[in-house]
Chains A and B, each alone.
Chain A
Amino acid sequence: MISKDFDFEKSIKELEKIANSLENEQISLEDSIALFEKGVKLSKDCSDYLEAAKQRIISLSKAEEE
């Protein structure tokens, strides 16, 4: 279950950065594996976030109470 505070924008940006940085040959094998694992986790989180969505509609007065 994906948390309510999940920052999709930040996550997809980081995923993009990791996917691009793996191209860099200067990165060691250990670092590459760590990045790869992080990237896989981010891509799963992002997918989960999109899958779990169901539009919530609230009234202005409800929003004011929150």
Chain B
Amino acid sequence: MLNTITVSQLNAYVKSLIENDPHLTFVNVSGEISNFKNHFSSGHWYFTLKDKNASLRCVMFRSAASRVKFEVEDGLAVTLKGRVSLYEKDGQYQFYAEEMHPIGEGDLALQFKQVKEKLEAEGLFDAQSKRPLAKYPKRIAVITSDTGAAVKDILNITSSRFPNCEIVMCPVLVQGDMAAQDMIKTLDRVYALDNIDTIIIGRGGGSAEDLHCFNDEALARKIYESPFPVISAVGHETDFTICDFVADIRASTPSHAAELAVPDIRELKSRISGYEDLLNSRMLFKYNLYDMQLKSLQNRVSVTNFERVYQKKQLDIDKITTKISDTVNKKLQDEISATSNLIARIDALSPLKVMSRGFSVVTKNDSFVASVNKLNVGDNVVIKFNDGKVKGNVTDILKK
């Protein structure tokens, strides 16, 4: 007769059997994820791993889950590394995953693909949000490791091409788990400056793992927020990172970034001297043009021509002067003779002149008497002669 045991005792026993089996302690199992749940408060993941014919309950605790770089979703084919155990409460055995890796591509490649698709869908790579770089920057912030080849290349090229541009060195970690956070913090400090024309962010070549921090989603979003145009320069020609897509422009290498960032002083100098030549030649052309015009005008108004015109005008003036003076003189003469005639006539009419010819004037009370009707018999009158007067008395009036 067998002993009767409790459910708890049985589950505990089975659990111990499983946990003591070395084949179940370190297991790699592959399958497709379904029913994926990210428990919002604990951060633990619960999901089912399945293949065509079977399924397996899985748990991934938060500490392990946080090391998974890519996004986990239903349908994803993965390999899990972990152990098998039994959950005594419901007697279900389940898989406790410690690591998760995508099948068919690396974790990093998958993460890259996922972040790229996500940000692309949000429009962070859109061409219309790309800004042009400053043509003649006064200040560039260089965000990279201060020990790598990248910083040397950038300084060499900017100093020889356009030394007028000041470089603000912003040393950061460019690989490892801390790198993305470090770059985000540094970007925030650079964004707080107000006189930056361009930002160069990047590093020299390295393995995919080395460059991976430039695929960080938060870093990409931070770059997208930049108030200044950003050049991304990560690794070599063939390396593409999320930062490259989100930056205003991608440079294939740090050296290329420096070339994009600043103009070439030799080119500028030749442009300036080209403008000088243009100024000189066009001014000379203009001068010659005006000189020609002036000469042709001078020919038309030559000295002899001018004198001839002058003499002719002089003659005209003389003629007019003579004519004017003749007219005035004649008019004056006419006036003078008319006046003398008038004087002679006035003189002839003078009463004295008349009296000298034997006429006399009769006055009464000092008034001329022109009619016999003005006189009465007995009136005293004075008769004025040319050489004196007589007094008399009217004795008789004889009317005509």
Interface on A for B, CB 8 Å cutoff? 8-9, 12, 15-16, 18-20, 22-23, 25, 29, 32-33, 36, 39-40, 43, 46-47, 49-50, 53-60, 63-64
For the complex, give the distance between the alpha carbons of A64 and B186 in Å: 12
Residue of A nearest to B172 (CB): A60
Whether A9 pairs with B272 at a CB distance below 8 angstroms is no
Whether B282 pairs with A23 at a CB distance below 8 angstroms is yes
Q: Given A60-B189, A64-B192, verify A15-B167 contact (CB < 8 Å).
A: no
Specify which of A16, A22, A23, A58 lies most central, judged by the most chain B CB atoms within 10 Å of its CB.
Answer: A22
Q: Which of B159, B167, B279 contacts A43 (CB 8 A)?
A: B279
Chain A interface, DSSP helix/strand/loop, else mixed: helix
Q: Which of chain A's residues have a CB closer than 8 A to the CB of B275?
A: 15-16, 19, 39, 43
20 A-B interface contacts by CB (under 8 A): A12-B268, A18-B279, A19-B275, A20-B278, A32-B286, A36-B283, A39-B279, A43-B273, A46-B268, A47-B272, A50-B268, A55-B155, A55-B159, A56-B167, A58-B166, A58-B167, A60-B169, A60-B170, A63-B141, A63-B193
**Any chain A CB within 8 A of the CB of B165?**
yes
| B175-201 interface (Cβ within 8 A of A) | 186, 189-190, 192-193
Whether A60 pairs with B190 at a CB distance below 8 angstroms is yes
Which bucket holds chain B's interface residue count? Answer: 35 or more
Closest CB of chain B to A15's CB: distance in Å? 5
Whether B168 pairs with A60 at a CB distance below 8 angstroms is yes
For the complex, give the distance between the alpha carbons of A12 and B276 in Å: 11
Q: Which of chain B's residues have a CB closer than 8 A to the CB of A63?
A: 141, 168, 193
For the complex, give the distance between the alpha carbons of A43 and B286 in Å: 20
For the complex, give the distance between the alpha carbons of A59 and B165 in Å: 14
Residue of A nearest to B276 (CB): A43
Render B149-171 as a binary contact track against A, CB cut-off 8 A, 1 for contact. 00000010011001111111111
Q: Which of chain A's residues have a CB closer than 8 A to the CB of B167?
A: 55-58
Q: Given A22-B286, A43-B279, A60-B190, verify A15-B272 contact (CB < 8 Å).
A: yes
